[in-house]
C-alpha cells in the first residue's frame, strides 16, 4: 500500500483498555488506527466524527467482540454501516474475539481472529491481514509437458476455446442482456470452416455455456445465432473476462442476504454493477437454488422483478462469502 491503511475500531466502552492496546500496536506498526478516544475532542459531534470521518474513510473495520459489545446498539449501528461498505467492496471487516461470546450473525461468515489469548502472535496475524500479506511459496515454473500442451481452457477443444474466449471478450456490458452472434459472420471472423463452427457451438452448448437458435435455410451451418450464458463467463473467469463473475455473485448474494429482498434497481444502487452483470449473477443464483426470484413484466433492463433470500442464501453466504 502507498498510504497507511486506515482502520476503524468498533468496541464497547467496557473494553476500552483492550481497544487502546490494539490501537496502539497498530499505529506503532504503520497502521492509521482511528480510535474515538484519540479523535473526538470536547464539543465534537459524536455522530459526525464517527460516521462521517471514521467510518467513511476506513479501509478496514475492526469489531471487538465481547459479551458487552454484542449487546451494544451503538456497535451494531457501526457494524451496519460497515456491512454496506463491505458489500460495495470499499471496506474489509475483521472480527476480533476478545472473550467468548455469541458471534453476531452478520459476521459469522467471516474469518475472525481470537485475541483472547496469545496476544502477540494474534497481533501479527492481524497486521498480516490488514496489509494483505499472504505467506505462501513462490509460484514455480510449470513442467515441460504442461508448457507444450495445446492451449485450451477447462477441457474444451481448441475451436470451442477460441469461440468462447472471443464471445466473453467481445460482449459489451452496456447491453443489459446477452449479445447474439450471427453464426456465419462468426465463422468468417474466426476463420472456421462450417464444420468447425458447428462442432464448437455444439460442444459449448452441451456444457450449458451458450444458447443457440436454429432457422431453416442456414446450411451448411447447423445454427443461425448463438449467445453466451452466465456459465461461459464463469468458465473463462480470469482468462477472457474483463471482470470476476464469481466476485459479482458473492457481492450480489451478500446484498440480498443482508436486505432480505431486493429489486434489480436496488441491487445496482448498492453494488454499482451494470444490469448485464447483475442479470448473469442473479440467473446463476436462481438456477442453483440459492435465491428465490419473482419475475414481472416491464423490469427492463433487469431480467427479474425481485430477488429474495432463503435458507439456501444464508448458507451460501456463510460457506462461500468469507
Q: Same structural domain for residues 15 and 108?
A: yes
Q: At what angle do helices 275-287 and 264-271 cross, to 10 degrees?
A: 120
Task: Tell me if 169 is assigned to some domain.
Answer: yes
Residues 154 and 197 in one domain: yes
Same domain for 266 and 302, yes or no, is yes
The residue from 189, 214, 235 where one domain ends is 235
- 185: domain CATH number is 1.10.10.10
Identify the burial level of 46 via C-beta atoms within 10 angstroms of its C-beta, where 0-12 means exposed, 13-18 middle and 19 or more buried.
Answer: exposed
In the prediction, which pLDDT does 2 show? Answer: 61
Same domain, 214 and 109: no
Helix (H, G, I), strand (E, B) or coil at 219: coil
Looking at the structure, do residues 252 and 299 belong to the same domain, yes or no?
Answer: yes
Co-location of 218 and 153 in the same domain: yes
pTM of the model: 0.52
- Say whether both 20 and 118 belong to one domain: yes
CA-wise closest residue to 309 among 299, 322, 321, 301 = 321
pLDDT for the residue 150? 46
Task: Supply the pLDDT for residue 204.
Answer: 93
Tell me if 138 is assigned to some domain.
Answer: no
pLDDT at 322: 65
Measuring CA to CA, which residue among 252, 22, 286, 261 is closest to residue 130?
A: 22
* Whole-number pLDDT of residue 149: 46
| Other CB atoms within 10 A of residue 72 CB | 18
Task: Report yes or no on 136 lying in a domain.
Answer: no
Predicted local distance difference test score (pLDDT) of residue 148: 45
Task: Kindly state the cell numbers that stand for 321.
Answer: 462469502
Largest interatomic CA distance in the chain: 81
Q: Supply the CATH number for residue 97's domain.
A: 3.40.50.10140
Q: How far apart are CA 242 and CA 202, in angstroms?
A: 25
Domain shared by 119 and 30, yes or no: yes
Whether residue 186 sits in one domain with residue 81: no
CA 38/CA 20 separation, integer angstroms: 9
Where does a domain end: 215, 235, 255?
235
Cis ω for the linkage preceding 28 (within 30 of 0): no
Residues 260 and 220 in one domain: no
Residue 49 shares a structural domain with residue 120: yes
225: containing domain? 145-235
Contacts for 93 with CB less than 8 Å, ≥ 6 apart: 60, 61, 63, 79, 82, 83, 86, 107, 110
- Distance CA(21)–CA(120), nearest Å, equals 11
311, 317 Cβ separation under 8 angstroms:
no
Per-residue model confidence (pLDDT) at position 145 = 54
Please indicate, yes or no, whether residues 177 and 210 belong to a single structural domain of this protein. yes
The answer to whether position 10 is within a domain reads yes
Taking 50 as the pLDDT cut, the residues of the chain under it are 1, 147-150
Domains identified in the chain, total number: 3
Select from 235, 258, 285 the last residue of a domain. 235
Asked, for residue 240, whether it belongs to a domain, the answer is no
Residue 291, domain member (yes or no): yes
Amino acid at each position: 500500500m502507498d498510504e497507511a491503511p486506515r482502520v476503524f475500531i468498533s468496541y464497547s466502552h467496557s473494553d476500552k483498555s483492550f481497544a487502546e492496546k490494539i490501537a496502539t500496536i497498530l499505529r506503532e506498526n504503520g497502521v492509521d488506527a482511528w480510535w474515538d478516544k484519540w479523535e473526538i475532542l470536547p464539543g465534537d459531534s459524536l455522530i459526525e466524527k464517527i460516521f462521517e470521518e471514521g467510518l467513511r474513510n476506513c479501509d478496514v473495520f475492526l469489531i471487538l467482540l465481547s459479551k458487552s459489545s454484542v449487546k451494544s446498539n451503538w456497535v451494531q449501528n457501526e457494524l451496519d454501516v460497515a456491512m454496506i461498505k463491505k458489500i460495495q467492496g470499499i471496506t474489509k471487516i475483521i472480527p476480533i474475539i476478545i472473550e467468548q461470546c455469541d458471534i453476531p450473525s452478520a459476521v459469522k461468515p467471516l474469518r475472525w481472529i481470537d485475541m483472547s489469548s496469545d496476544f502477540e502472535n494474534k497481533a501479527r496475524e492481524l497486521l498480516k491481514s490488514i496489509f494483505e500479506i499472504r505467506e505462501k511459496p513462490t509460484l514455480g515454473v510449470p513442467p515441460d509437458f504442461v508448457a507444450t500442451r495445446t492451449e485450451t481452457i477447462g477441457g474444451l477443444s481448441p475451436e470451442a476455446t477460441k469461440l468462447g474466449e472471443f464471445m466473453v471478450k467481445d460482449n459489451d456490458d452496456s447491453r443489459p442482456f446477452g449479445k447474439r452472434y450471427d453464426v456465419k459472420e462468426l465463422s468468417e471472423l474466426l476463420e472456421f470452416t462450417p464444420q468447425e463452427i458447428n462442432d464448437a457451438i455444439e460442444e459449448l452448448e452441451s456444457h450449458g455455456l451458450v444458447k443457440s437458435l436454429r432457422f431453416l435455410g442456414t446450411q451448411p451451418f447447423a445454427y443461425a445465432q448463438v449467445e453466451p450464458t452466465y456459465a461461459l463467463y464463469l468458465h473463462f473467469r480470469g482468462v477472457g473476462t474483463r471482470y470476476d463473475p464469481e466476485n459479482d455473485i458473492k457481492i450480489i448474494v451478500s446484498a440480498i442476504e443482508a436486505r432480505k429482498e431486493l429489486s434489480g434497481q436496488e441491487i445496482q444502487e448498492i453494488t454499482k454493477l451494470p444490469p448485464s452483470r447483475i442479470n448473469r449473477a442473479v440467473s446463476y443464483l436462481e438456477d442453483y437454488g440459492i435465491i428465490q426470484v419473482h419475475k414481472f413484466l416491464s423490469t427492463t433492463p433487469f431480467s427479474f422483478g425481485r430477488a429474495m433470500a432463503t435458507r439456501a442464501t444464508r448458507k451460501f453466504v456463510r460457506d462461500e462469502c468469507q
